[in-house]
Amino acid sequence: MHELSIAQGLVDVVTAEATRLGATRVRTVYLAVGRLSGVEAGALEFSYDLVTEGTLLAGSRLIIDDVPIAIHCVRCDAEHALPGVNRFRCPVCDTPSADIRRGRELDLTRLELDEPDDITSSPGSSFSVSSANPIS
Ligand SMILES: [Zn+2]
């Protein structure tokens, strides 16, 4: 399962960051997941529970922030969010666009950690997703 290896990678990155900061426990992990990232949120949450067992992340919450797709339209000279994943046309003027600005991300955006003091970290780490992109 694709999500299992992503969850494992996430645990590795978070563990490294938490260890670096001297945290004893990870409380909450915030992840931005683009709709084109190929990651299924439900499967990732399930995998997360499995791979966090026995780690600093055990019992922590995974908050997945769904990132819609946004394209840049040359005609409008503006960025527009798309309502779905099947139609790469400007929602305003209907010009086709392959210039995708958002929606592919798989980013660790925030961590909430326990000890020594309450720490909030914004490592800004990015995962590169190796899954095939369905549209390019
Ligand atoms: Zn447009």
Instruction: Please give the distance, rounded to the nearest whole angstrom, from the Cα atom of residue 75 to the centre of ligand 1.
Output: 5
- At a CB cut-off of 8 Å and minimum separation 6, what does 109 contact? 30, 31, 32, 65, 122, 124
> CA quadruple 55, 61, 66, 67: dihedral positive or negative?
negative
Residue 82, helix vs strand vs coil:
coil
Instruction: Please give the distance, rounded to the nearest whole angstrom, from the Cα atom of residue 57 to the centre of ligand 1.
Output: 44
Q: Is the pLDDT of residue 129 over 60?
A: no
Instruction: Please give the distance, rounded to the nearest whole angstrom, from the Cα atom of residue 85 to the centre of ligand 1.
Output: 17
Chain-centre distance for alpha carbon 101: 15
Report pLDDT digits (tens) over 46-64. Answer: 999 999 999 999 999 999 9
Task: Give the pLDDT confidence score for residue 135 in this predicted structure.
Answer: 41
Query: What is the 3 state secondary structure string of 44-72?
Result: HHHHHHHHCCCCCCCCCEEEEEEECCEEE
Tokens of 120: 């909030």
**Domains of the chain in sequence order:** 1-67+104-126 (3.30.2320.50), 69-102 (no CATH)
Report pLDDT digits (tens) over 8-48. Answer: 999 999 999 999 989 999 999 999 999 999 999 999 999 99
pTM (two decimals): 0.77
Instruction: Please give the distance, rounded to the nearest whole angstrom, from the Cα atom of residue 81 to the centre of ligand 1.
Output: 11
